[in-house]
Amino acid sequence: MTIKVNGERYSTEKETLTQLLEELRIMPERVAIEVNLKVIKRADFSHFSLHEGDSVEIVYFVGGGNKLRTPRLIFIS
């Protein structure tokens, strides 16, 4: 199937978000995911089904440094 991942066309045969993350070699505990403008809970990654044409946005959290600073969000592309 063809989906969009962070705005780019991406072909995959993976059926769930967990499988997609494994294929992309992304650790699920370090990201937030939005599918078709809906934020998906991490607990739902393993059974959330992907469909042809879905738009998936993956946001990676980066922390560290000064404790007073808030973590930055980095969009993976």
Q: Which domains does the chain have, with CATH numbers?
A: 2-75 (3.10.20.30)
Inter-CA distances, 17 with 4, 24, 63, Å: 13, 10, 23
pLDDT at 72: 53
Place of tokens 């990676």: 60
- Could you tell me the two tokens for 5? 């991942």
pTM higher than 0.75, yes or no?
yes
pLDDT at 30: 87
Per-residue pLDDT of the chain (77 residues; tens, 9 = 90+): 999 999 999 999 999 999 999 999 999 998 999 999 999 999 999 999 999 999 999 998 776 655 555 555 555 54
